[in-house]
Structure formats: C-alpha cells, structure tokens
A and B are shown apart, each in its own frame.
Chain A
C-alpha cells in the first residue's frame, strides 16, 4: 500500500521478494544493503532462525531518488520460503505494491519453484490482489551453478504468460531487457499473452540484483503515475 506523505514529502512503497526456500531472497537484500550508501538506506532487520533461514521476514528501507520533490522510499521485504511458514508469508504480503519472485535456477528446484509460484498466486488472491495486474518481476537466480536449468525451460515453467483479454492491450510489446523477445505477444494458438519481466542473477556476487530492483521499483512508480 503506497503511502504519499505530503507533510514530509515522501512516497513510501512496499516490495516483497518471494520464492522457494534457499532461493536467494535474503542474499538479494544483503547485496543491496552492502552496496548502497548508508545515507540512503536504513538498518537491515532479519528475523531469522539460528541457521540463518528466514523465520518471519527481512526488511531493508532504501531511498531511490527524488521525483517531483518527493523522496521515493522503498521498503524491501523477503518472506520465509520454507513451505510450512505460509502464515507468516501471507502476513508480509499485506499492502504490497510490487513483487519480485526469486526462482532457484537449479534443475532439481523446479518443482519447489512451481509450488512457491502457485502459493504466491493463492496468497495474493486471498487478499483480493491480482498478481497479473501488479508490478511483478521474476529473477532467475544462481545462474553460476552448473546444474542451472536453461532460461528457456524456466520461462516455460514459471512465466508462460497470462491471457490478455483487453483488446486495447493486444499489441506486441518488446521486452526492453532481452532483444528479440516480447512481453506481450500472440502465441501460435492465436491467444494474446503477457509475461512478467525477468532477469538472470547471481545474487551472491550481486549480478542482476540491482537490475531486478530497479525494474520492479520503476513499475511500482509507474503504477502510481
């Protein structure tokens, strides 16, 4: 739930990193924390177990710049990915403005990715939010590992696209981040589909972390414009 404060001239937005356990959500936030200047970020709060698995959430506030004289503050949260923490996961989604789904590229994590994606749709629907109409970005993490599935397969499984029924939006929209690919297009069956923007990442070394964050933040601000 974005909040615009005219008194302090701030726009506050909430972004949630979602995805299967051990996929690298916390690592994304840690990288952002380590890279941005302390003057533009707050404390990194982690409610974690002794083994560093997220128990409730991680939280990091960052300022991404000023628009129309308003400071844009993004509150980044991660959810606990482990299946049995669903109650906590759902709580964190409350009032979310944008979602990053961090998928684990490893072949053997495909099913965990799919389960988590389904769980995301379900939890959003319970709040009455429609994920397909919200700022939503997918990150394929752990691209450095030898057992990483090809992006093509991950796209087919996790980002096959949702139907675009609004005639006005049935126009090809090129993917600005991947030459030759489209975000909105007509598939051979004749149906128009839209896919989420995706990025490849190696969160441990920071590759793709800021591309992901910038893309989702931009979508969030545009959704307010």
Chain B
C-alpha cells in the first residue's frame, strides 16, 4: 500500500515526445491549443497558441472539473466520462482522460469542428497513453526514481531558515 501519493517525474525526452504528439494533433485537428494536466491539478505542458489566461489556475480548475464529473458519472451508474465537452460562443473545449492519470484539454474555435477534433483526439490519447504508461511504470519500479533531492537535506534546511 502506498504511504501517500506517489511522486512522478518526466525527463526532457518524455517532454519532447509529448510535445511532438500534441503538435501533430494540433496540426491535424486545426485546434488552437492543447494543455496536459495531471489529475492532482498540476500543469504538465501547453502546446500551440500561448494561452492568454492563467494556465496554472486553468489546470487546477480542469482537474477539479474532471474529478467532479467522474463522481457525477458514478452517481448515475457510469464508471466515468471519458471525455467532457464545454461549448462556448466562440471557444469550445474538449477534455479527455489519459490512462486515468492525466487530462488532455483542447481549446478550439470555428476554424475547425467538434467532429474533427474528437476524431484526431482519439488517436492522440492512444499515443499519449503509451508514453505515460511508460513514465508511470518507471516511477513505480523505482528504476528512474527522481533523485534530484537525494541527500539534499542540508539544502532543504537552509531554504527554510
């Protein structure tokens, strides 16, 4: 049984792979921008047009939105909603679960259609799932365990003097 939440990390290679997948997806779907958010509300990356809003706050609310909807799904007897769609007058957003650990959020406008975005998203989610499965299995086996903080006790003490 884990003591608490497990920590996870990703390398620059993971980051590169993720960003390439997302760029390809934006190109294919004509969407404006894509964000990846972990289930605890932390922003992993954004790709595409630079969001002109507070991306950290956005990530937190996305995760909360997604978890609240998960619970709503359970209440009505579904295991979860794989995707969520919020439609605005000009901007819309589509959210999808990736291996139950991260959420892919896509913002798009009338330069494309929900149908196309949804279609392209399916493949992207599959591809991302492979990347994240690896990232998370590595975290658990402890092989690639982050050790940036190993033996950093002194430095941590100094930070909080």
**Chain A residues close to B by CB (< 8 Å):** 1-7, 11-12, 14, 42-43, 45, 47, 56-57, 59, 61, 64-65, 67-68, 70, 72, 75, 77, 87-88, 91-92, 94-97, 127-130, 133-134, 214, 217-218, 221-225
Contacts and interface: CB of A to CB of B under 8 A. Distances in A.
A42 B12 contact: no
Contacts of B56: 42-43, 61
A132 B10 CA distance: 28
B149 A7 contact: no
Given A1-B7, A4-B148, A11-B149, 11 more contacts: A12-B42, A43-B56, A68-B148, A75-B41, A97-B4, A97-B5, A214-B160, A218-B159, A221-B159, A222-B156, A225-B150
A11 B148 contact: yes
A129 B4 contact: yes
A94 B67 contact: yes
Contact of A1 (B40, B152, B157): B40
A72 B67 CA distance: 25
What DSSP secondary structure best describes chain A's contact surface? mixed
A99 B15 CA distance: 30
Given A134-B4, A224-B7, A87 B71 contact: yes
A56 B6 contact: no
B10 A14 contact: no
B149 A3 contact: no
A5 B156 CA distance: 18
Contacts of A134: 3-4
B98 to A, nearest CB: 15
Given A7-B15, A11-B149, A225 B71 contact: no
Given A64-B159, A214-B160, A95 B57 contact: no
Contacts of A6: 9-12, 15
Contact of A67 (B2, B11, B41, B156): B156
B51 interface: no
A45 to B, nearest CB: 5
A225 B159 CA distance: 14
B44 A3 contact: yes
A6 B14 CA distance: 9
